[in-house]
């Protein structure tokens, strides 16, 4: 099949009455899904030509997923915005697009008799998503059918996914991890379970009742799911694998996950919206603490110095990736850290290899702090803080300082009464004094992006205000 979602028509012919998609109390058989996809595809074809950028202004996850498959089928490019964006931002996005789909278009879709555009080619774009915006304004990245088809193949080989799976997708589809999981599941012929609102207890109950075999989640979602599972002593006899990405899992969190989900294979993979899969570690392997794991099949990775030469094992510099899975480029917005060079791509992540070929990701270069002439990755400080008992999340930032150039401060999420002095003493046991935050503030209501990542922009504002307070 030459494009994403093409096998769905075959699934509908072979398994017409079997369940394909579930969201809350609503479900669609494969025959239902195929009929709705075709109806929406005809509606979309009548509103814009092949290749047109179509904004999916849809809150309901089932409507969004089905509409995306429909626009793919008729050769258009689905733009999937953050549902929490302001009306002004949504209207601005619609002005640069050729068309949009709203709930009323879905309701009227079965009345359309338009012909579909020709099927897309593998090199055609089909999806424009947005980076999380956790460190700056979101950028619109563009994906081709070929890149996701290559990513599907990599996921099936690495994780053992098959049409027999029942896949739980517990997050919003504006996050590329959750969207990838849902689209890949239907492409594969598996049953996909969506949630209309993330509730740990509801997600876990659904997983048990529907005998879900696969769970995709971010580390933050896993923390909440583990807490609920352990509190109620839940067991998951049908669950075979958990796939985690979005940010690094701490050693402390990894132990909690393995305790809450016993006998389940856990895959943690490193990648970005721009690169797809890069490296992976599993719960069945012995991998050094802090490592992202081994490079995945079909992917090449080099750590390069500024002059382009390749670093020795143990030497930290910029990570470059080469594979069939990488994105086409940014539709709008830009990032000076993201560069293509002779088929290789970097997004500005820095890291190093050990002598055994395990990849370690130090952090994003644009988050590097320079304090008293010393380079410090904010992520290094965050990992130390998050390793401490009762610390659920952490974020480190640089504040302008006349003496040091940058003064390092941090914020943490905790329910304990641990003092700032205790936190700094604990950091000094694992970090050189120059890297220990001068101030550490506790935050009760930890802000997250819609994709479940820490909202670093909002957290920096909070840290700056607390630091400036008398």
Q: Going residue by residue through the chain (470 aa), what tens digit of pLDDT does each one get? A: 589 999 999 999 999 999 999 999 999 999 999 999 999 999 999 999 999 999 999 999 999 999 999 999 999 999 999 888 888 889 989 998 999 998 988 888 777 788 999 999 999 999 999 986 555 567 899 999 999 999 999 999 999 999 999 999 999 999 999 999 999 999 999 999 999 999 999 999 999 999 999 999 999 899 999 999 999 999 999 999 999 998 788 888 899 999 999 999 999 999 999 999 999 999 989 999 889 999 999 999 999 999 999 999 999 999 999 999 999 999 988 788 899 999 999 999 999 999 999 999 998 888 888 877 778 889 889 999 999 988 999 999 998 877 767 889 999 999 888 999 999 999 999 999 989 999 999 998 898 877 677 888 899 999 999 988 87
pLDDT at site 191: 98
Q: Which of 341, 366, 391 is the last residue of a domain?
A: 366
Residue 390 belongs to a domain = yes
The set of residues, in sequence order, having a beta carbon less than 8 Å from that of 178 and lying 6+ positions away, is 169, 170, 171, 172, 216, 451
Q: What is the CATH number of the domain that holds 317?
A: 2.30.38.10
Residues 213 and 312 in one domain: no
pLDDT at site 133: 56
Residues 97 and 204 in one domain: yes
d(CA 436, CA 420): 12
Residue 1 belongs to a domain = no
Residues 62 and 165 in one domain: yes
If residue 173 lies in a helix (H) or strand (E), which one and from where to where? none
Residues 45 and 125 in one domain: yes
Residues 225 and 208 in one domain: yes
Residues 249 and 120 in one domain: yes
Distance, first Cα to last Cα, the chain: 64
- β-pair type (99-101, 53-56): parallel
State how far Cα 345 lies from the chain centre: 18
Residues 207 and 318 in one domain: no
Residues 245 and 280 in one domain: yes
Q: What is the CATH number of the domain that holds 71?
A: 3.40.50.12780
Dihedral of the CA atoms 64, 70, 73, 76 (nearest 10)?
Answer: -70
pLDDT at site 369: 86
pLDDT at site 137: 64
Please name which of 425, 413, 390 lies closest in space to residue 462, comparing C-alpha atoms: 413
Q: Which two tokens stand for residue 90?
A: 């949504």
Boundaries of domain holding 225: 8-297
Residue 463 belongs to a domain = yes
Number of domains comprising the chain:
3
Residues 359 and 398 in one domain: no
Q: What is the CATH number of the domain that holds 386?
A: 3.30.300.30
Residues 210 and 346 in one domain: no
């Amino acid at each position: 099949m030459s494009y994403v979602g093409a096998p769905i028509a075959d699934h509908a012919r072979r398994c017409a009455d079997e369940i394909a998609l579930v969201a809350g109390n609503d479900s669609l058989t494969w025959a239902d899904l195929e009929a709705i996809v075709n109806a929406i595809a005809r509606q979309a074809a009548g509103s814009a030509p092949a290749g047109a950028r179509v904004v999916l202004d849809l809150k309901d996850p089932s409507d969004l997923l089905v509409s995306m498959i429909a626009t793919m089928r008729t050769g258009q490019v689905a733009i999937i915005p953050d549902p929490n964006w302001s009306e002004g931002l949504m209207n601005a996005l619609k002005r640069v697009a050729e068309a949009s789909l709203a709930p009323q278009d879905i309701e009227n879709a079965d009345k359309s008799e338009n012909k579909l555009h020709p099927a897309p080619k593998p090199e055609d774009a089909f999806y424009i998503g947005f980076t999380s915006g956790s460190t700056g304004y979101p950028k619109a990245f563009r994906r081709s059918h070929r890149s996701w088809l290559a990513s599907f193949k990599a996921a099936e080989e690495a994780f053992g996914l098959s049409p027999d799976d029942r896949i739980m997708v517990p997050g919003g589809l504006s996050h590329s991890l959750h969207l990838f999981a849902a689209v890949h599941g239907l492409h594969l012929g598996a049953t996909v379970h969506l949630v209309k609102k993330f509730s740990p207890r509801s997600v876990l109950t659904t997983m048990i009742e529907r005998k879900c075999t696969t769970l995709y989640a971010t580390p933050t979602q896993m923390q909440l799911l583990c807490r609920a599972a352990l509190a109620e002593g839940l067991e998951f006899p049908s669950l075979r694998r958990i796939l985690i990405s979005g940010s690094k899992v701490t050693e402390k969190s990894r132990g909690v996950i393995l305790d809450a989900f016993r006998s389940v294979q856990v895959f943690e993979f490193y990648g970005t919206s721009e690169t797809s899969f890069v490296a992976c570690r599993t719960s069945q392997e012995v991998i050094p603490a802090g490592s992202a794991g081994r490079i995945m099949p079909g992917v090449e990775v080099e750590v390069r110095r500024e002059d382009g030469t390749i670093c020795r094992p143990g030497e930290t510099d910029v990570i470059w990736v080469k594979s069939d899975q990488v994105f086409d480029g940014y539709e709008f917005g830009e990032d000076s850290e993201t560069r293509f060079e002779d088929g290789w791509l970097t997004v500005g992540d820095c890291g190093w290899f050990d002598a055994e070929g395990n990849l370690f990701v130090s952090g994003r270069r644009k988050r590097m702090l320079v304090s008293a002439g010393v380079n410090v990755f904010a992520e290094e400080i965050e990992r130390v803080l998050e390793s401490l008992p009762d610390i659920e999340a952490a974020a480190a930032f640089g504040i302008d300082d006349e003496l040091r150039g940058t003064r390092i401060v941090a914020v943490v999420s905790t329910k304990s009464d641990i003092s700032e002095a205790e936190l700094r003493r604990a950091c000094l046991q694992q970090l050189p004094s120059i890297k220990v935050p001068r101030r550490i503030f506790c935050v009760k209501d930890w802000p997250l992006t819609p994709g479940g990542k820490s909202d670093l922009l909002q957290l920096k504002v909070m840290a700056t205000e607390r630091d400036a307070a008398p």
